[in-house]
Structure 1
Amino acid sequence: MVLALLFLFSLTACSQADSKAEPTTASSDQAAVNTASDQAFDAKEYYKTLQNCVSQIKAKTDFVPDIALVLGSGLGDYADNVKVVKEIPYSEIDGFPVSTVPGHDGTLIFCEIKGKKVVIMNGRVHYYEGYTMPQVVLPLRVLHLLGAKTVILTNAVGAINEDYEVGDFVTNVDHISSFVPSPLLGENIDELGERFTDMSRVYDEDMISIVESIAKKENITTHRGVMIQVTGPQYETPTEIKNFRNMGADTVGMSTVVEAIAAKHMGMRVCTVSCITNMAAGMQEKLSHDEVKKASDNSSANFTKLIDGLLTEMKAE
């Protein structure tokens, strides 16, 4: 009888202990959900941040750009020879992401180039730096709200296409964005663009043709290609590169495509000028960021000719 009572008591105690433990587990799970919810994209707050950045910039300059030029890894020297109206470091704009990557100075340069009113993003931020994708494309959205209707995106890329060589340039005619989050995820910001954006023709044919014409005149090798963006920061494996080649990609990089998507969403004209700084994994012995910067430096003269020629001949909207 005593043993039976002890057994019943132990069952009751275990049951009570379990019932007390359950709320703790549920509470912990709910806390995790709440934390995730707190970090979710808030379209209204994000748009306020965009407007706040615009207001801060307008307080420093009344320059209204027609064209935005984004300078990628190792291509920042182009900004050294422009007629500067105003320079604003990213760090002086509250809410504006700051680049942490060598070769990306992190300065907005408002200037006139070949008779065009241009704002240069001298350096960009990347998803692999720990920024969210909305933060990555925030600078370009700010520049559009300042007035820019056209964007020229430049970057350093690895060549997947075996016919390409280091020092060649590529203009995108299409891209593959399947390996990075879309910058349009979350509640749509109607002030920027429509919910479902057509991506049939992201890249402007007229601008591509101008780049090709300049390249032919200056004896610079250019290609029309398809770029695939990956998250990085690690370089790709040889097997990944083979897979990307089978998918139809000619070049690979860790930026630019999501900016093109955000720009298209806002109705901007888009053109890319990519510098091939290395052959992709499996096509050369080793990959390094120093090699990318060195190859970009070696191609700077041709890069300048292409961008100057494009800005001279293109029509600003």
Structure 2
Amino acid sequence: MGRLLERLQETTTHLASRTEIRPRIGLILGSGLGELADQLDRAVAVDYGNIPHFPVSTVEGHAGMLVFGHLENQPVVAMQGRFHYYEGYSMQEVTYPVRVMKELGVETLIVTNACGGMNPAFKAGDLMIIRDHLNMTGANPLIGPNEPTLGPRFPDMSRAYTPELAEFAKATAASLGIEVQEGVYAGISGPNYLAAAELRMLRLLGGDAVGMSTVPEVIVASHAGLAVIGISCVTDMAIADELEPLTHEQVMEVAGRTKPKFISLVKAIVGGLPSLR
């Protein structure tokens, strides 16, 4: 664990030398949504491959850049692409950027993703504010020795998605005329899309949407004491009795069509983000 602290110090020292921006808000931009980082003012982009101890994104649609800048006059740092457990990274590697964001001064994390909708009231193209999650990955990024300076040994997850910020995100969407859903995100390991029986199981357990990211990052963010807003883009309907073959290209296509309203919502949230401190 001491080595983790050393790595964090080396990473944050390197990034601080690349920019004078000290971000207050962190953005994790999921599949097809990285374009938002291109809209940052006074942006400084750092390739993941040039950041000490950072993994490298291998998924199509994930640019692999850490971008510092200002969005709606707020200092932010944005991940253009994330890391996934299914890429072969450990849970600690997947969530390392969240640790780095905390060390850089981030107080609030906005995490986005593309997902499959399991709630029959949803439709492809909907946005869902995440109220809670199911960790169905079979792993946890907090397994192993705990460093008390990073967070408690047994962190509480009852407010992992900050309720006040979820309400704020919902109200912000309403002010923009954007209809949003709310629900529980079921995080799986991937990389395969689920079988019908597995989808029935997750729906019975209370899942409204399913995806292959977000849950590990939010666990670590909560452990680190960050406030969190989670927003999913429903790119397809994953209803057990109505399943059709699905490809990553289809997911990206729907994410692209939904992008304008998604970007508008995230920008408005960033611009009006209340302080919880």
Q: Report the TM-score, using the length of structure 2 for normalisation.
A: 0.96
Partner of 1:289: 248
Partner of 2:38: 80
Q: CA deviation at 1:46?
A: 2.1
1:280 to 238, 256, 260: 238
Larger helix share, 1 or 2 = 1
Gaps of 5+ in 2: none
Q: Distance in 2 between matches of 1:101 and 1:89?
A: 15
> Number of aligned pairs?
275
Q: Distance in 2 between matches of 1:55 and 1:155?
A: 29
Structure scoring higher RCO (CA < 8 A, sep ≥ 6) equals: 2
1:183 to 141, 146, 164: 141
Q: Distance in 1 between matches of 2:134 and 2:248?
A: 23
Q: Distance in 2 between matches of 1:180 and 1:107?
A: 28
Gaps of 5+ in 1: 1-42
Q: CA deviation at 1:130?
A: 0.4
Query: Matches of residues 1-317 of structure 1 in structure 2 within 5 Å?
Result: 43-280=1-238, 282=240, 283-316=242-275, 317=277
Q: Contact between 2:119 and 2:239, CA under 8 Å: does it hold in 1?
A: no
Q: Contact between 1:68 and 1:151, CA under 8 Å: does it hold in 2?
A: yes
Q: SS where residue 31 of structure 2 aligns?
A: coil
Which shows bigger deviation, 281-290 or 174-183? 281-290
Q: CA deviation at 1:218?
A: 2.8
Q: Distance in 2 between matches of 1:274 and 1:64?
A: 27
Which shows bigger deviation, 227-236 or 207-216? 207-216
Q: CA deviation at 1:281?
A: 5.6
Q: Contact between 2:108 and 2:226, CA under 8 Å: does it hold in 1?
A: yes
Which shows bigger deviation, 53-62 or 296-305? 53-62
Q: Distance in 2 between matches of 1:116 and 1:253?
A: 29
Q: Distance in 1 between matches of 2:177 and 2:123?
A: 15
Q: What's the C-alpha RMSD, in Å, of the aligned pairs?
A: 1.2
Q: SS where residue 299 of structure 1 aligns?
A: helix
Question: % of aligned pairs identical?
Answer: 37
Q: SS where residue 275 of structure 1 aligns?
A: strand
Q: Contact between 1:168 and 1:220, CA under 8 Å: does it hold in 2?
A: no
Which protein has the larger Cα radius of gyration, Structure 1 or Structure 2?
A: 1
Q: Contact between 1:155 and 1:273, CA under 8 Å: does it hold in 2?
A: yes
Q: Contact between 1:236 and 1:281, CA under 8 Å: does it hold in 2?
A: no
Q: Contact between 2:235 and 2:254, CA under 8 Å: does it hold in 1?
A: yes
Q: Contact between 1:172 and 1:224, CA under 8 Å: does it hold in 2?
A: yes
Q: CA deviation at 1:96?
A: 0.5
Matched letter for residue 218 of structure 1? L
